[in-house]
Structure 1
């Protein structure tokens, strides 16, 4: 979270922002850091403690006079309901306010079933996980959901998503708020993967691209430490950039030659079936690669090269220091990554790639759900929202 400029009028929410780094502080230290009087600090901290946001970390050894108590952020004050929904499955979780998972479950589902059945399944699973985690459903701070298509982040409504037409314009936040009366935030699933990888795996990397390669292909951009969504939330739609030499490949978006149409898990599976190799999903392709199937291995390596050709343009445009590759197809391991690296390093200028790393996802299948939780936490712990709650 960005630093807050301190002033004598620092609010309870701004004081809490200072404590989110997890370092316990005394009231005197907070008064010194903020410029507030000790009485003003005490009043604000009392309000935060009453709301459960702070916990007492015990007594600091005194060098004379009254021992000083230390206060720290209480991540257990509320829970967050999070879900990362893909085309054929979802990862659903309950986390604390630090984004730490309390309970996680992976579900098989079909996004094409439409919003109401899918969201009902998520709501049912959240209730089960709340019981499993031993937290109260009334203590939930908010809900975060990632969807496999373009989302207008300001409204939470999917915007002409190619693989989920029944969802176009559906008011996801309003529907979920009818079940859980808390803030509901929705974003593209790969944006949330980027948030998850940045928050939990690469917190010191300010410029990075996260790529998901699965049934579809997408990407999320972190620039100056902040997720870049673009004007209407459409930034990072890597899968629908035209791939080199693929003009006639039909894509689910209605265009031809898209990267997703030639390098996604479903596209590779279709090509393998045409050669008599039984494969229907990304998982089937990965299983074939792991079993040593030569045709599947070659197809994965070529998909990596094609993805790398498109990523090379992104490297030239935004100059990241890190590219993280995740998604179901990334489970094939170095075969996919080798193809990506080969193309990116060949097509990009040496200055842009001198310190560029291309690595597999560290967070794995929970990256998106961790990002969904991080999105909610950033909102509900913002000074203005905290102050409104305490007001």
Structure 2
């Protein structure tokens, strides 16, 4: 960040943005980086310290005279509740502002039971995680949720989700915000606060498609050097999250990346979306499990398919390899169009490892232009089952710590 890039209008949020890089800074360094006077820096640091966003760092920096005090971002100032809901399973976590998972739980949770039954279990699990693992509910600054279907980003409401009967238009943010109400900040807050203390609804509940959340998580894990990344989730269905220029690309209505319903050549397999020949109907975990059941082999979903493959079942192995090729066929067109530097494969079917990755790579490299694949990396998810909750938490953290939001909170 160049000297004076924020100028004299830099607020407390700008100081916090600098400190979030993990380096402890002195007042003099912060003044140099923002162009603010030391007295103004001190005033704004006082506001950040009062709300626990910043703490005095350990040690000091000496340039020969009196050692200067240092200040650091307080990753433990607040916590975020994050939920990654798939078609059949869910992972929930309590995450700090540095994206460290403090507590988590995985559970079977079919979303086809409807929104209220599903979200009641989410609320109960969040309360249990907070009670068992110690974070004060009053420190919850927001909730991030990934859903396995299209979501209108502005409202956080699902839109005609094929895997989620009864969810269309359901007000997920408002419903969760009311039921996850927390005690107010102050001396009366905390776990011991009685029922007579008014509880404050969580007003920052952000909801998006689950694959977008996974893409955010994997991009965070990959680091800022990766500007163009595609995340493919191969689970019950198939979806795609797109990072371009270091930012999540949602499209005009939040429907970008819905590759699961791209038509696959020479296939008329019926899809639950109402069309036929969709990629999901050929290579999704549910469709592969259905093929095995027709052959007399018990398989409820994608995880069972992968388990059978690992146990040496030849039918399951062939299905997984072919699923990789089918996904690669669709992705080859996207590679030519978008030219990503990294493609990450995640979801239940990705647990098949090289069996599925080899199929994806084989088709992409054979069908894409040499320039587009010259430096292309195709790899398995680094965060694996945690990608969704890390991404959901990141979505909330970036909103909470946006400079404008911090300026409003501190002043």
TM-score (norm 2): 0.92
What corresponds to 1:228 in structure 2?
Answer: 249
Moved more, 276-285 or 110-119: 276-285
Q: Note if contact 2:145-2:206 (Cα within 8 Å) is conserved in structure 1.
A: yes
In structure 2, how many angstroms separate the alpha carbons of the residues matched to 1:62 and 1:267?
A: 64
What corresponds to 2:210 in structure 1?
Answer: 189
SS at match of 2:7: coil
2:132 equivalent to 1:112: no
Following superposition of structure 1 onto structure 2, how do residues 141-156 of structure 1 map, counting pairs within 5 Å?
Answer: 141-156=141-156
In structure 2, how many angstroms separate the alpha carbons of the residues matched to 1:162 and 1:266?
A: 13
Q: Note if contact 2:325-2:359 (Cα within 8 Å) is conserved in structure 1.
A: yes
Q: Note if contact 1:244-1:309 (Cα within 8 Å) is conserved in structure 2.
A: no
Query: For each residue in 1:276-297, what CA deviation from the matched residue of structure 2 results, as whole angstroms up to 9, or x when unmatched?
Result: 3222211110111101111111
Moved more, 178-187 or 199-208: 199-208
Instruction: Identify the match of residue 395 of structure 2 among 375, 379, 385.
Output: 375
SS at match of 2:145: strand
What corresponds to 1:209 in structure 2?
Answer: 230
2:342 equivalent to 1:322: yes
2:279 equivalent to 1:238: no
Query: For each residue in 1:14-57, what CA deviation from the matched residue of structure 2 results, as whole angstroms up to 9, or x when unmatched?
Result: 11111110110000110011100000000000000000001111
SS at match of 2:273: coil
Cα displacement (A) at 1:5: 4.7
Q: Which runs of 5+ in 2 are unaligned?
A: 182-200
In structure 2, how many angstroms separate the alpha carbons of the residues matched to 1:148 and 1:107?
A: 15
Q: Note if contact 1:261-1:267 (Cα within 8 Å) is conserved in structure 2.
A: yes
What corresponds to 1:266 in structure 2?
Answer: 286
In structure 2, how many angstroms separate the alpha carbons of the residues matched to 1:18 and 1:61?
A: 18
What corresponds to 1:38 in structure 2?
Answer: 38
In structure 2, how many angstroms separate the alpha carbons of the residues matched to 1:244 and 1:210?
A: 23
2:313 equivalent to 1:293: yes
2:149 equivalent to 1:137: no
In structure 2, how many angstroms separate the alpha carbons of the residues matched to 1:161 and 1:174?
A: 19
Cα displacement (A) at 1:72: 0.5
In structure 2, how many angstroms separate the alpha carbons of the residues matched to 1:128 and 1:236?
A: 34
In structure 1, how many angstroms separate the alpha carbons of the residues matched to 2:123 and 2:333?
A: 40
Following superposition of structure 1 onto structure 2, how do residues 330-349 of structure 1 map, counting pairs within 5 Å?
Answer: 330-349=350-369
Moved more, 236-245 or 266-275: 266-275
What corresponds to 1:125 in structure 2?
Answer: 125
Cα displacement (A) at 1:117: 1.3
Q: Note if contact 1:265-1:285 (Cα within 8 Å) is conserved in structure 2.
A: yes
What corresponds to 2:333 in structure 1?
Answer: 313
What corresponds to 1:77 in structure 2?
Answer: 77
TM-score (norm 1): 0.97
In structure 1, how many angstroms separate the alpha carbons of the residues matched to 2:150 and 2:72?
A: 38
Query: For each residue in 1:46-79, what CA deviation from the matched residue of structure 2 results, as whole angstroms up to 9, or x when unmatched?
Result: 0000000011113424234332110000000000
Q: Note if contact 2:5-2:33 (Cα within 8 Å) is conserved in structure 1.
A: no
Cα displacement (A) at 1:132: 2.5
What corresponds to 1:163 in structure 2?
Answer: 163
In structure 1, how many angstroms separate the alpha carbons of the residues matched to 2:386 and 2:59?
A: 37
2:408 equivalent to 1:388: yes
Query: For each residue in 1:312-362, what CA deviation from the matched residue of structure 2 results, as whole angstroms up to 9, or x when unmatched?
Result: 011011100111000001111111111111110111011101111110011
SS at match of 1:178: helix
Moved more, 283-292 or 266-275: 266-275
Q: Note if contact 2:5-2:34 (Cα within 8 Å) is conserved in structure 1.
A: no
Q: Note if contact 2:61-2:70 (Cα within 8 Å) is conserved in structure 1.
A: no
